[in-house]
Structure 1
Amino acid sequence: MSLSKEAEPTLGYLTHKDTEVKLPRPTRVKNKTPALIQITAEQILREARERQEAEIRPPKQKITDPTELGEYRLRKRKEFEDLIRRVRWNIGVWIKYAEWEESQKDLKRARSVWERALEVDYKNHTLWLKYAEMEMKNKFINHARNVWDRAVTLLPRVDQLWYKYIHMEEMLGNVAGARQVFERWMKYVAFEKQYGDREGIEDAIVGKRRFQYEDEVRKNPLNYDSWFDYIRLEESVGNKERIREVYERAIANVPPAEVKRFWQRYIYLWINYALYEELDAEDVDPTRDVYRKCLNLIPHSKFSFAKIWLLAAQFEIRQLNLKGARQILGNAIGKAPKDKIFNKYIEIELQLGNIDRCRKLYEKYLEWSPQNCYAWSKYAELERSLSETDRARAIFELAIAQPALDMPELLWKAYIDFETAEGEFERARVLYERLLNRTKHLKVWISYAEFEAQNSLDLREEEQKRECLQRARRVFEEEREMLLEKWLNMEAASGEVGDVNLVQSKLPKKLKKRRQVTSEDGSARIEEFIDYLFPEEIQTTNLKILEAFSSFVLFVTCIYVFK
């Protein structure tokens, strides 16, 4: 069904013409000459005020029974609450609301309104002043002190709060209380000069420093150096309650990010707190509680601190609680294993003579860090100290078989030294050969040669000495030959710039030789080995031949002459 352009409004259809808003046409001023009688803005405002109607005020209500009073209070509270929802940041509304509750003698509700207002803007010192004046006017002195104390802590730079606080204590005749307030304020020194003695002035200086530290930690709660200075000040005074209060306030400032570098300074607050409780306060339970809270706070899945675990365990040992120490160290290995924790735990068990526990700990240690050569060496050293030579050798073999090691040279040296100390020189020699198959490092060759030379000095039979010394020389010759080959490859890779002839003249000749060796079971066998003959040795040999030939010719000539 099609709709007509001029639809009937009574049928529910409106056309564009019906909804069009028609504005009056602006009037044009034809005569722009000034009027004879001029009207000022002041006259307009005065006439408007004169013509203003009288303000309509609500009638005065007389309340005669508790029901009407309850309805009146409910209505007024609803009006205030609605107004607060609309203009929450208007402090004047909060003040009127609290003062009205006070006029109704409902101080609990009045306090509630003041506290809500402080949550909106605690930096407004007018709120604190009127709040404390209400408490003083109704003779709630302790409540007033609490308000003043909070006010000067949060707003220490507002002098009016300090003056009012001190004035209240002076009006009450509480000179000691006034001194305490002055201790927290920098002008306490002048006050003590008027009323106190030298000790009071020294206390005032402490109070001044305390005020400075309070200001620093208030500006930046995460400045842990300021907290350390503040704690040292309180420890010099010696008030346990204040010291604990400052420590608790300091450790409450947890670093915002779970990054270890942000926690490294913070964690020492806990350590100092625990040491204070143990050594100075001599309270065991609070010390244990500090360690427990600290360990629960650290995010061990991301990072941990071995120091705090070890301090907690050592504290339990000092309390003769070995079970507690083992539990702490066991939790440390389970949650955040570290080298320091394993080493310290093993050291403790070794001092107690629990060898089986030490072995289990080393197994856990190497299961967690199989590339740690230091752990392998220490484990083998433990077994050797127990005269378990086969176990130590098996540990070394497992160690060098690992695919990745952090310091393999340390491990191989420990293994070779172990075999040398046991008098197994042939085993040590085999280890050197195995090591040279893996690396051709110069230090390995030198160590091998020195090993053979030392053995030649320790042996008594001349033949064995010559054999060891010859082996040492051969090690040096092999190293020299290897270096020359490297040099030759470098010269060849340098192209036209390189000089291959410079190296080739120095290369040795390789000679295959045979020698008789005696096995461990006493049987003799023949083995082949490669000997190196260097150019200077060839020249020396030729000179000897020439010298012998000259001697032979001289001998033949003499015979011919004498005949």
Structure 2
Amino acid sequence: MSTESGPSQLSVDNILNDVYARRKTPKSQTKVDILDIDELREYQGRKRTEFESYLKRNRLDMGQWLRYAAFEQEQHDMRRARSVFERALLVNATYVPLWIHYIDAELKSRYVNHARNLLDRAITTIPRVDKLWYKYLFLEESLENWEIVRSLYNKWCSLEPERGVWVSYVEFEMRQQNWNNVRGVYEKFVLVYPEAQTWLKWVDFESTYGSIESVRNLYSLAVDSLISYDQVMDNQAEYEEGIIELVVRFAEWETTQQEYNRAKEIFHIALQKWPHSQKLIHSQSAFERNFGNSSDIERSIINKRRISYENDLKEEKQNIYKWMQYLDLIIQYYPTDTIDVFEMAVNTALPKQRITKDIQWERYIYLWIRYVTHVELESNKTDLCDTLYKRCLNDIIPHQKFTFSIIWITYSEFAIRQDDITKARKILGRAIGLCPTDDIFRYYIQLETRLREFDRVRKIYEKYLQYAPDNINTWEEFAQLENNLGDEERARSVYEIALNIDTSTIPETTQLDIIRNFIEFEVESQEYDNARNLYEAFLKKGNFSPNIWIAYATFECSAPTTEQIQELYNKNEHSNDDDDSSNEDVDFTPTELNFNRARKIYERGLKYFKEIEDNKSRYLLMEAYGEFEKVYGNDESRASLDSRKSRRVIQNRNEGGVQKEYVDYVFPEDSIPPQKANVSRMLALAQKWKKGESQ
């Protein structure tokens, strides 16, 4: 491919050359040489007519006015130039370049008084234009009119101008070496701009030209004045930083004067005012490292730890563990700030989600508990403590979603410590009505029990059982309470209600535990017939479990019958008649009658399991029966039972086409064929009966 351009292709160079070739060159102005006075006057008249004509059409064009005045200056006609300037000022007296050109024109013509008068008019007409003031001051100072310069500065400063004006005034007085006047200027300066920057400038001056005492007094005055303005300043954060900078400079200056105790006290007071200032803490640490003792260094380290915790908590506001560590530090070393830090912690660390009870909520509630505990026990502010409890329960915890029993309980304990039992009951009653929990019920029951208010305890148990009917421990405790109070009928009624309530929501194991406890109660009450009836119900409810048969048999072995109980009572009454001092019950000793009743239970169980072909349960019951006979049986009964014991065999069965081995039990009595009836004996008995009928 050729790199050369074709003849019809345009390049950038061709275009630029064509543009420059066609550019129109401006016509040069004809130079007019004025040869005599008439030509000059004609020229002046023509130019003035042009200016006037243009200004008639557009009198607001200040540039044209300035060109008109400049023309008159070129003609050395200052009178006409003044006239043009004055006419322009009537049009727009606030146009600063007009004043500047007017003043410069007077100065070039060496009309100093005219320029001074113009400057005076200018600063009066537009007093907020710094350029006019500076021009006026430069003029007078160049003429060495020091008093006029000073009066101008005073007049200008009365308008409260920007900081640069005050600095300029100070520099002027310093050039004049009027140190008292410099102090006077600074006194007004700090009133107009009450900021640390202003005071530091004054301090720098005093450090050079003043005495040690004057510098110290000035630092003290600066700090006191700035703190008094602290609440009314707009940007308080920046303002406080300036005050802290001043305080640090004050302490450092005292250090240079070897006044270490003064410097230490300054840091101490400042940290009480601004305990979170990192600059102040770092400065104090540096001071303590150089001039402090071990306790001062330790305090400095503690301040650093506090700042570190605060910085971490700004990033991790929900970190309860970090808040707890921070509170440990505050309580130990800054006890006056404890309440404020606790308040900040509970407000900042409040979990955002209010739907589920999670670990964050639990930690947060323990933070509240620590707060109220500290207020009550350490600060002794019971009114505040009560307010905090109400705030936590009313505004913080969403009881419709979840609650915390511990906060209700601690609140009620607080009321008890204040000797207000009624209030404690109201708190717990509200908790039960609003958000009942097991812990609240149990604590309320324990409280009323200690107060011996058993009627209240019964009502609380009733509500508790309505709330949690499947809690076996509650039924047992209620019945045990009635039993301890000597009311067996109430205790029995509690057990009966527990057995007759809707069992659809109660687990089967719980129902069995209720029956088992009921049986124990009846045995302790020596109502053995009731216990036997309960064992029958226990068997049905427990699906005739071998363990229940064993327990039933063990009960019959040790429980007296009705006749035996009557004999024991009669024997006891007879022994009491013979010996009035004997009031002890006669111990019951099981007899063969009780052993036989136990054997019947075993036999019933074995028969039941044989009928349903549950060989494993039958085997277990047979083993327990054997243990019973070892203890209470004789040789004949043991031998009879041994002949009936099973043996273990391994058998196979088909499960889904797969042969699997399992353990089975074979009982000898199952293999004995049933005995045939003796027909001859039956016939003989029949004949005997018939003979008796005929006689």
**What does the per-residue CA deviation read over 1:418-453, in whole Å, with 9 as the maximum and x for residues that have no partner?**
111111222222212212222324443343333334
Code of the aligned partner of 2:309: Y
Counterparts in 2 of 1:30 and 1:210: CA distance versus 1, 3 Å: closer
Corresponding residue to 2:415 among 316, 326, 329: 316
**d(CA) in 1 for partners of 2:329, 2:246:** 28
- What residue number does 2:495 align with? 396
Q: Aligned AA for 2:323?
A: W
Q: Alpha-carbon deviations, 1:347-403, whole Å to 9, x = none? A: 111111111111111111122222222222211111111121121111111111222
Aligned letter for 1:166?
V
Q: Which has the higher helix share?
A: 2
Corresponding position of 2:342: 247
- 1:261-307 per-residue CA deviation (whole Å, 9 max, x = no partner) reads 13111111111111112222233222222222211221111100001
Please identify the structure whose Cα radius of gyration is greater: 2
- Quickly say closer, same or farther: Cα 1:535–1:32, change in 2 above 3 A: same
1:304 to 1:210, Cα distance in 2 relative to 1, 3 A: same
Alignment coverage as a number of residue pairs:
411
TM-score (norm 2): 0.51
What's 2:515 paired with?
412
- Native 8 Å contact 2:248 2:280 kept in 1: no
Distance 1:472 1:147 in 2: 97
Partners of 2:445 and 2:418 in 1: CA distance: 20
Aligned to 2:630: none
* Distance in 1 (alpha carbons) for counterparts of 2:324 and 2:227: 35
Quick check: 1:298–1:304 contact (8 Å CA) kept in 2? yes
Q: Kindly tell me: are residues 132 and 300 of structure 1, through their superposed partners in 2, closer, same or farther at Cα, counting changes over 3 Å? A: farther
Contact 1:349 1:357 in 2 (8 A): yes
Native 8 Å contact 2:652 2:662 kept in 1:
no
**C-alpha distance 425-190 of structure 1, shift in aligned 2 (>3 A):** same
Partner residue, 1:167:
249
Counterpart residue number, 1:535: 668
User: Is the aligned partner of 1:464 residue 2:594?
Assistant: yes
Q: Is residue 2:278 matched to residue 1:192?
A: no
Give the drift of 1:325.
Answer: 0.7
Match of 1:59 among 95, 111, 129: 95
Whether 2:227 is the aligned partner of 1:141: answer yes
Q: Which amino acid aligns with 1:176?
A: E
Amino acid at match of 2:408: W
Contact residue 183 and residue 204 of structure 1 kept, 8 A: no
Q: Does residue 201 in structure 1 map to residue 305 in structure 2?
A: no
What's 1:449 paired with?
553
Letter in 2 for 1:207: N
User: 1:423 aligns to what SS in structure 2?
Assistant: coil
Q: 1:92 is matched with which residue? A: none
Q: Which amino acid aligns with 2:506?
A: L
CA distance in 2, matches of 1:57, 1:374: 100
1:343 paired residue among 423, 442, 445:
442
The amino acid that maps onto 2:342 is: Y
**What CA deviation, in whole Å up to 9, does each residue of 1:506-547 have, x standing for no partner?**
3xxxxxxxxxxxxxxxxxxxxxxxxxxx534876999xxxxx
355, 376, 390: which one pairs with 1:292? Answer: 390
Gaps of 5+ in 1: 1-27, 40-52, 70-100, 106-129, 507-533, 543-563
1:151-162 mapped onto 2 (5 Å cutoff): 151=237
Could you say which residue in structure 1 is the equivalent of 2:14? 33
Identify which range, 314-323 or 463-472, moves more after superposition: 463-472
Shift of the 249–236 alpha-carbon distance from structure 1 to 2, 3 Å rule, reads same
Letter in 1 for 2:388: V
Residues in 2 aligned to 1:494 and 1:336: alpha-carbon distance in whole angstroms: 53
**Alignment partner of 1:423 out of 526, 534, 537:** 526
> Over residues 308-333 of structure 1, what are the superposed CA-to-partner deviations in whole Å (9 max), with x where a residue is unaligned?
11111111112211011111111111
* Match of residue 185 from structure 2: none
Partner Cα separation in structure 2 for residue 149 and residue 227 of structure 1: 30
Q: CA deviation at 1:165?
A: 6.1
RMSD: 4.7
Name the CA distance, whole Å, in 2 between partners of 1:183 and 1:540.
106
Alpha-carbon distance between aligned partners in 2 of 1:411 and 1:57, rounded to the nearest angstrom? 107
Q: Which residue of 1 aligns with 2:50?
A: none
Hey, what does 2:307 align to over in structure 1? 211
TM-score after normalising by structure 1: 0.61
In structure 2, the gaps of 5 or more residues are 1-8, 21-62, 67-91, 97-120, 128-158, 164-192, 201-221, 255-261, 272-276, 561-586, 619-650, 676-695
Encode CA deviations 1:203-226: one digit per residue, 9 max, x unaligned: 111111111111111111111111
CA contact (8 A) 2:346 2:367 kept: yes
8 A Cα contact 1:449 1:475, kept in partner: no
Separation in 2, partners of 1:241, 1:423 = 67
Q: Find the counterpart in structure 2 of residue 45 from structure 1.
A: none
| Shift in alpha-carbon separation, 1:389–1:380, aligned structure 2, 3 A | same
TM-aligned CA deviation for residue 496 of structure 1: 6.2
SS of the residue 2:281 aligns to: coil
Partners of 1:153 and 1:455 in 2: CA distance: 92
**Does residue 176 of the first structure (1) align with residue 265 of the second (2)?**
yes
Checking the alignment, whether the CA contact within 8 Å between 1:449 and 1:476 is kept in structure 2 is: no
Moved more, 467-476 or 192-201: 467-476
What letter matches 1:260 in structure 2?
K
Q: Structure 2 vs 1, CA of residues 236 and 344 (structure 1 numbering), >3 Å: closer, same or farther?
A: same
Secondary structure at the residue paired with 1:353?
coil
Q: 2:538 aligned to 420, 435, 445, which one?
A: 435
Give distance in 2, aligned partners of 1:537 and 1:302.
63
**CA distance in structure 1 between the aligned counterparts of 2:309 and 2:490, rounded to whole angstroms:** 61
Contact 1:234 1:242 in 2 (8 A): yes
Flag the 1:502–1:208 CA change in 2: closer, same or farther, 3 A.
closer
SS of corresponding position for 1:193:
helix
- Equivalent position of 1:279 in the other structure: 377
